[in-house]
Amino acid sequence: MMKKSATMTGIEKRLLLASLLLLSSCFLLPLWRIEIFAPQYPEGLFMQISLSRISGNVDQINILNHYIGMKPIHAASIPELELMPKILAALIALGALAAALGRRAGATLWTALLVLTAGAGLADFFRWGHDYGHNLDPDAPIKIPGMSYQPPLIGHKLLLNIHSYSLPDLGGIALSLAILLALLSVSWRRPSFQNLRRRFGIGLALALGFCAAAGCTAKPQPLQPNVDSCQHCHMTISDIRFGGEIITRKGKIHKFDSLSCLLRYRAESNADIRSLWVSDYLKPGSLIEAGSARFLRSERVQAPMGDGLLASADAEGLRKLQTAIGGEILDWNQLLAMPPGTTPRSK
């Protein structure tokens, strides 16, 4: 007679079947998404990697990569795109067999195989990015000795003046959830996990609360002089005391060399803005939220683009600077009410 502990319970089977359903969705959903923002493409380019194809602005990305010597990206030259659908189909078939047999040992073995396959996929993705970023054409138009252009495995990376973002897409999220459900299925009756389950609700609530408190949003990045370029005028940022940043709701960060460029971009673009940040003139290298800053407009402020504007959170320090060089102090709403490019004045 089969031991009770060797047989999967109803909830364990349901968790395993839910995992298989999520895996099946990966045939339809893109696994990974890469987005690129460059001065030539201020609105951004994207590429989606699915099980058997690559879609998005691939041609434009290949043009951009050509200048730094990266190989063109063609689906036909990537054998993994032919193998991945077969591997996933085999995994789903083995998982369905494990669920039908109802043995915990079979489910555990399948879950281990799923985790190892996903890990091997990430390792192969890293290898693919390393190859594209390091094996460069020696006759490329742009050559910087010792420079490589490997895209990030996950997250954000700045490559010269190109911002590259790499994140799981809907299929990658479904795959991650499938692995989580499979692990839950084979751990459900373990004594240590039973205790963990009792704490799971509290832990999840705390995690969500922490994310809500933290905003779960991208944070402003320090402006890098002579490296970053302005999203509006495309000039290299040379003086970080006058710049600023816009963060979109998708977490994209646009940098500017002056407040006038930031204001013009805000007025002219269709970007879905989450927050705006400006450089604190009196604390070089520090970024503050635009709504909490005060602004000095004076013809004696030598700012990029000649806008005569600077910002600071130090109200007292700003008043002292006004006494020394003249001008008028404005808050954020007053600044927005002014037409971009308004000539600065002294008092």
Q: What is the mean pLDDT of the chain?
A: 83
Please indicate whether residue 165 or residue 194 has the higher confidence score (pLDDT): 165
Q: Assess whether pLDDT exceeds 90 at residue 273.
A: no
| pLDDT tens by residue, 327-338 | 999 998 888 887
Helices (H) and strands (E) in the chain, counts: 9, 12
Residue 40 has pLDDT above 80, yes or no: no
Residue 315 identity: A
Q: What is the DSSP letter of 217?
A: -
CB atoms within 10 A of CB 111: 22
Mean pLDDT for 17-46 is 86
* Residues near 187 by beta carbon (within 8 Å), at least 6 away in sequence: 193
SS (H, E, C) 142-209: CCCCCCCCCCCCCEEEEECCEEEEEEECHHHHHHHHHHHHHHHHHHCCCHHHHHHHHHHHHHHHHHHH
* Cα 30 from Cα 48, distance rounded (Å): 6
pLDDT grade for 248, boundaries at 50, 70 and 90: confident
Give dist(CA 19, CA 306) in Å, integer: 59
- Identify the weakest region by mean pLDDT among 29-43, 51-65, 209-223, 267-281: 209-223
- The contacts of residue 16 (CB under 8 Å, 6+ apart) are 8, 95, 98, 99, 107, 181, 182, 185
- Side-chain-side CA neighbours of 120 within 13 Å: the count stands at 11
Query: Is 201's pLDDT higher than 70?
Result: no
- Residue 320's alpha-carbon distances to 67, 200, 289, 311, in angstroms, are 49, 55, 22, 13
Q: Distances from the Cα of 296 to the Cαs of 301, 303, 322, in angstroms?
A: 9, 11, 7
pLDDT of residue 305: 75
Residue 1 banded pLDDT, cuts 50, 70, 90: very low
DSSP-assigned letter for residue 105:
H
Residues 112-140 have a mean pLDDT of: 89
* Predicted pLDDT at 84: 94
Which range, of 19-28, 214-223, 269-278, averages the lowest pLDDT?
Answer: 214-223
Percent of the chain with pLDDT over 70: 86
pLDDT at 204 exceeding the cut of 60? no
The more confidently predicted of residues 159 and 73 is 73
What is the pLDDT confidence band of residue 214, given thresholds at 50, 70 and 90?
Answer: very low
The H or E element containing residue 243 is: none
What would the mean pLDDT of 36-58 be, rounded to a whole number?
Answer: 83
Q: Are 82 and 52 in contact (CB under 8 A)?
A: yes
Residue 138 has what pLDDT? 83
Tokens 């047989």 sit on residue: 7
